[in-house]
């Protein structure tokens, strides 16, 4: 008798606090739930076991990354349906008590789903440069783009170029200006600032693979006189000599306890009148974030509400001059990355392994939803180190800081 899905459906409905929002398809061929809803496939009893031990987002993420659970169709639609059901009924599966779990375990014992907790997915040890080269645009920019057009011919590479240009204009780069790029990644900003604005760039990373990649690109582009690539902790660099400092989606990785030191370092690296540009992920003050992102997809990521970050920068002595939300831009950026991932799915699975590919699919699907629903955001914060007399040296209006972009 095939009865796994009918056995699990009422348990799931109690945890969700309402009707099942997905079509549940079990390993024995049984199904339950609305026939026209997203189809969630339980490949083995381990999927149920993961959810019994860790109800909610983290258990679902574990089951999906490990391949014990799958989704037929659009993964974002399935996540959206489950999230809507949880909010509609104010349910919190992650807080299910021991008694409720024991009752669920008793009902699932007869389908072979009870047992010790399966091991969690191993932490991602990346980066994998070839994987990123296939997924990202040619600049290898691994951060939110800046979309200035909805023309079908305007794509991710254009939006990343415009993001780099916006950053350079906000920083007021001129030929010879000294720019410190903290957490330079694959070198998109460093190379662009040197090539297009003739800035003198110090690109800093703690990842040898990134250092080697950027140095190779510097040589290929003939930018050796403009770009120095340094393998170092940013805190070990001499300060007080830069006209501009950029920290593009790097501050999320230093940890809550270390962020005040990062903010002081940004201040200390600048000469008086120098500018700092911080582009950083944020989370909503209440009910924000994407738990699986922190746990399995980007371990060590620490997000906070935008206001808290601004407060930390100001406490370090910087004067915040503007903050621009790029939340909708990230939805489009993630969408472009998803298209690239799905178009090369089989090749990327072979290159990086099924585990890494599934992590990325979950990250992009869940991340898009988190930004779409305002649980997460991303912002560009422009700050200045005032002179001793409190003079910022900034033009009076934002339009004078960085002229409007011309759409390519």
86-129 pLDDT, tens digit each: 777 655 554 555 566 566 666 666 676 667 778 777 666 655 78
Distance CA 378, CA 334 (A): 12
Distance CA 132, CA 137 (A): 9
Note the pLDDT of residue 401: 57
Note the pLDDT of residue 384: 96
Measured in whole angstroms, how far is the alpha carbon of residue 144 from the centre of its chain? 9
Distance CA 95, CA 52 (A): 12
Domain 129-401: which topology? Rossmann fold (3.40.50)
Is the pLDDT assigned to residue 298 strictly greater than 80? no
Neighbours of 273 (CB within 10 A): 15
Neighbours of 42 (CB within 10 A): 23
- Band (179; pLDDT cuts 50, 70, 90): very high
Summarised one tens digit per residue, pLDDT across range 331-359 is: 999 999 999 999 999 999 998 888 889 98
Task: Characterize the bridge pairing of strands 178-182 and 69-72.
Answer: unpaired
Note the pLDDT of residue 171: 96
Q: CA angle, corner 184, sides to 178 and 185, nearest 5?
A: 165
Comparing CA positions, the residue from 372, 234, 253, 357 lying closest to residue 301 is 253
Q: What mean pLDDT is predicted for residues 241-268?
A: 94
Note the pLDDT of residue 2: 64
DSSP code string of 155-173: -HHHHHHHHHHHHHHHTT-
Distance CA 5, CA 39 (A): 12
Task: Characterize the bridge pairing of strands 227-231 and 200-205.
Answer: parallel
Domain boundaries for CATH 3.40.50.150 within the chain: 129-401
Q: Average model confidence (pLDDT) for the chain?
A: 87
> What separation in angstroms does the CA of 56 have from each of 8, 39, 373?
15, 18, 18
Q: What mean pLDDT is predicted for residues 293-318?
A: 84
Residue 308 tokens, joined = 């808290």
Is the pLDDT assigned to residue 56 strictly greater than 90? no
Cβ neighbors of 265 (< 8 A, separation 6 or more) are: 234, 235, 239
Summarised one tens digit per residue, pLDDT across range 195-242 is: 999 999 999 999 999 999 999 999 999 999 999 999 999 889 887 889
Q: Which of 57-66, 280-289, 364-373 has the highest mean pLDDT?
A: 364-373
Burial of 327 (0-12, 13-18, 19+ CB in 10 A): middle
> What separation in angstroms does the CA of 389 have from each of 187, 275, 276, 312, 383?
36, 16, 19, 22, 17
Burial of 405 (0-12, 13-18, 19+ CB in 10 A): middle
Compute the CA torsion angle 143, 144, 150, 156 (nearest 10 deg). Answer: 10
Q: What mean pLDDT is predicted for residues 257-285?
A: 94
Judge whether 24 and 32 are in contact, CB under 8 Å.
yes
Cβ neighbors of 236 (< 8 A, separation 6 or more) are: none
> What is residue 35's DSSP assignment?
T
Note the pLDDT of residue 7: 87
- Band (73; pLDDT cuts 50, 70, 90): confident
- Band (1; pLDDT cuts 50, 70, 90): very low
Q: What is the pTM of this model?
A: 0.88
Name the 3-class secondary structure at 324: strand
Distance CA 261, CA 251 (A): 11
Compute the CA torsion angle 318, 319, 321, 324 (nearest 10 deg). Answer: 40
Is the pLDDT assigned to residue 385 strictly greater than 90? yes
Rg of the chain taking only CA atoms, in angstroms: 24
Neighbours of 81 (CB within 10 A): 18
Is the pLDDT assigned to residue 32 strictly greater than 60? yes
Note the pLDDT of residue 58: 78
Comparing CA positions, the residue from 378, 132, 385 lying closest to residue 249 is 378
């Amino acid at each position: 008798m095939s009865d796994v899905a009918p056995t699990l459906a009422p348990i799931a409905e109690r945890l969700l606090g309402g009707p099942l929002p997905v079509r549940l398809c079990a390993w024995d061929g049984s199904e339950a739930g609305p026939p026209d809803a997203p189809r969630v496939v339980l490949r083995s009893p381990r999927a149920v076991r993961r959810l019994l031990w860790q109800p909610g987002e983290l258990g679902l993420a574990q089951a999906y990354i490990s391949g014990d659970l799958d989704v037929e169709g659009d993964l974002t639609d399935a996540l959206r349906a489950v999230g809507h059901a949880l909010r509609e009924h104010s349910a919190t599966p992650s807080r299910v008590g021991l008694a409720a779990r024991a009752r669920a375990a008793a009902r699932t014992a007869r389908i072979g789903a009870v047992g010790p907790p399966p091991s969690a997915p191993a932490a991602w040890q990346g980066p994998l440069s070839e994987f990123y080269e296939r997924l990202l645009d040619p600049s290898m920019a691994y951060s939110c783009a800046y979309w200035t057009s909805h023309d079908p011919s305007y794509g991710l590479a254009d939006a990343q170029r415009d993001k780099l240009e916006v950053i350079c204009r906000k920083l007021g780069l001129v030929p010879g200006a000294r720019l410190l790029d903290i957490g330079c990644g694959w070198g998109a900003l460093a190379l662009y600032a040197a090539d297009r604005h003739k800035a003198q760039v110090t690109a800093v990373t703690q990842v040898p693979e990134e250092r080697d990649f950027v140095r190779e690109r510097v040589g290929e582009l003939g930018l050796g006189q403009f770009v120095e690539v340094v393998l170092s902790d940013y805190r070990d660099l001499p300060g007080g000599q830069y006209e501009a400092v950029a920290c593009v989606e790097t501050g999320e990785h230093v940890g809550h306890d270390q962020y005040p030191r990062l903010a002081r370092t940004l201040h200390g690296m600048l000469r008086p009148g120098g500018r700092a540009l911080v582009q950083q992920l944020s989370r909503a003050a209440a009910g924000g974030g994407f738990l699986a992102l922190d746990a399995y997809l980007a371990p060590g990521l620490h997000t906070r509400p935008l206001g808290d970050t601004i407060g930390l920068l100001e406490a370090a002595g910087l004067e915040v001059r503007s903050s621009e939300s790029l939340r909708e831009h990230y939805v489009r950026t993630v969408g472009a990355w998803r298209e690239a991932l799905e178009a090369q799915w089989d090749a990327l699975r072979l290159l990086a392994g099924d585990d890494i590919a599934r992590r990325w699919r979950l990250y992009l699907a869940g991340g898009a939803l988190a930004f779409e629903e305002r649980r997460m955001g991303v912002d560009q914060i422009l700050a200045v180190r005032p002179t001793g007399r409190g003079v910022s040296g900034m033009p009076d209006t934002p339009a004078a800081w960085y002229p409007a972009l011309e759409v390519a």
